[in-house]
Structure 1
Amino acid sequence: MQSNLFRWLFEDPVMAGSNGGLPGTEVFHFLWPWLIFCIAGLLLTFYYSVEGRKRFVKSKPLAKRMLDNYLGWFAVICVVGLPLIFARVYLSGYFFAWRFWRYLWLLSMVVWAATWIYYLVRKYPSERAGFKAYQTQQKYVPKGNRSKRNARAGSR
């Protein structure tokens, strides 16, 4: 079983097709779904970085920080996915056409989603409560007179 899994992961599509009795390379059935996923992910992160930060999370610093971190990693995953898909389709007899790279890429997406869910469930509620407490505290802290301080600084 272990040798078959090893062979299945690290076999290029040309060899997999000839070993499976196919006349050519093994067919890659997931080209369009993965391509659409990667392009949509890149468009989403581009839209967020250009317009979404100002429009949706302008007054929410915790949400802005969370989306900056996690959408940045999502963009990296999508950028890495495009050459892997290209290698599978056009470089079918070479190193990056192995299934191992696509499953490693898929594992990175699962880890990314798990860390985001963990953050949303475990850490974000406590950070949000702490930030609300800080905002409430700042309502009652007296503010200094900035005009006097600026006037004194200019007269030195």
Structure 2
Amino acid sequence: MHKILVSSCLLGQPVRYDGQSKGLKNDILTLWLQEKRVVAFCPEVAGGLPTPRPPAEINAAKVVTATGEDVTGEFQLGAEQALALCNAQQIKFALLKESSPSCGRNNIYDGSHKGVKVAGMGLTAEKLVKAGIQVFSEEQLPELVSALAIAENN
């Protein structure tokens, strides 16, 4: 049975920049939690950022807060720790929060801090994908379920 790295905020943990969560209520996620397949992780907190914290966006390969602070190092550290955790626990699948500068799988904010989304990946999602881990956003839960079923039937 495969373990799944899941963004802590999707599990209801108040770790987002605004001190909130984005708890995902879903029967399959509840089942995975009961089966002890879920490994909760927040790369931003793991990278040393506080909660709450100023919102950050990727701008010209740097992660910068709305107040102009460069937090790229913290985001990179969190991404490295996510990959290390996946390697240590042989995790090959991740369910991450879309649009996050860490976890965004298909889109992120454009760096202007004006609420504009663009195609792209957050630092953690990109690092995991490059390492061969299958990354899905909460908007792709059916695709993750299918990928897990294929992996477990092989």
Q: TM-score, normalised by structure 2?
A: 0.29
Task: Determine which structure has more spread, i.e. the larger CA radius of gyration.
Answer: 1
More strand by share: 2
- Structure of greater relative contact order (alpha carbons < 8 Å, 6+ residues apart): 1
Give me the TM-score of the superposition, normalised by structure 1. Answer: 0.28
Higher helix share: 1
